Structure 1
């Protein structure tokens, strides 16, 4: 199921496990898929794209906020209908490109489970392009926000007045909260990334987290995530 948040911005609410969010943006830069859900979310993502009137063949690019499997898993299953470059920060890129595996020891040892999952995950046979802080990609500005993963990236799009926050925060009810300590590489760095983002980007209306409902008055809610 897809919900239109504003002109040119759709939210697809996946229903597996931790219910990751997928977003579709349409504008002058073409059609962009932001994050992609678990592998088991294929039918939900395809149905959501259909609700939004989007054929996977017409998607121009995929933006990934980070490499976690609940944001990457569906991509291989959407191909060959989906035939577009995948953009992800260079510090997370090699995992999605299949050139290395996540480290055993990160996230208090929980990353060992992610590494094992990645061994079984079918990765997309698509070009995986590195992103750096400040890159402009089809109307999105990439902002490097490490902490959850080393390469975690937020994408800000002025045209739809939205920030795609990935797992920098999650939404619970009407509030945004920093992602939980046990799932982060470095929680202190994550909170610093939130503050740096607030200092560096213009105010935005739509906060689009990786988990939990998208929220309006997004910039103010993100400020409250670190300032109470």
Structure 2
């Protein structure tokens, strides 16, 4: 979960095949639908209450839940996995999440009480009543290629946070590594981070390691053009 502020937005016109799903529940997370090479990928999935919004986004992209070939989860927070159980049984695809966050999404473990300046307790309580997807969970590690996406381990917001970069589409799906604020990106702050210093290190690492990308697609706030430049500009 990340905080989202009401600031006039500058939203990128995303490339063909990439659909932004602007969810409306609570902190208004983003999901994205990517249709590339006849494969459909859902990146993150909003809160449970965003089910209809996600279904509408899939319809806008010209697909249905049953067409999804894979789900990429940037991290375990409920506002990024919430609709998955509600899209089943039509949704029948593996869910990819970093190995450090995978036990939570799989339902094998609850988020720790003490993480993230007390907000971890809220996540743990919410997870106690969250329906998790009965789908195959695939553990991701840094450097994995999943279809056209390359996984970059970007810890800080959660220990297993991942950014996914699709080089052919020139899009980076940032999750809660950074959020869109007007025409800028801002690294996720200390309040919602497991390790705020690691967030900054992860931003630097992604800027250094990833190929140039035109579009930055954060987990909250508007997708932005000139994505790699804006992410670099977010650093102090």
Q: Name which of 92, 106, 122 aligns with 2:115.
A: 106
Runs of 5+ unmatched residues, structure 2: 1-11
Q: Does 1:171 align with 2:149?
A: no
Distance 1:29 1:164, change over 3 A: farther
Q: Name which of 180, 184, 195 aligns with 2:189.
A: 180
Q: Which residue of 1 aligns with 2:41?
A: 32
- How far apart, CA to CA, are the structure 2 residues paired with 1:65 and 1:85? 14
TM-score (norm 2): 0.93
Aligned residue for 2:234, secondary structure, equals helix
- How far apart, CA to CA, are the structure 2 residues paired with 1:162 and 1:29? 18
Runs of 5+ unmatched residues, structure 1: none
After TM superposition, list the pairs within 5 Å mapping 1:141-160 onto structure 2: 141-160=150-169
Q: Does 1:8 align with 2:17?
A: yes
Q: Which moved more, 1:20-29 or 1:186-195?
A: 20-29
How many positions carry a matched residue from both structures?
225
Q: Which residue of 2 aligns with 1:54?
A: 63
CA contact (8 A) 2:23 2:53 kept: yes
Aligned residue for 1:182, secondary structure, equals helix
Q: Name which of 82, 85, 93 aligns with 1:73.
A: 82
Q: Which residue of 1 aligns with 2:217?
A: 208
- Following TM superposition, where does structure 1 have runs of at least 4 consecutive aligned residues deviating by more than 3 angstroms? none
TM-score (norm 1): 0.97
Instruction: Choose between structure 1 and 2 for higher RCO, CA contacts under 8 A separated by at least 6 residues.
Output: 2
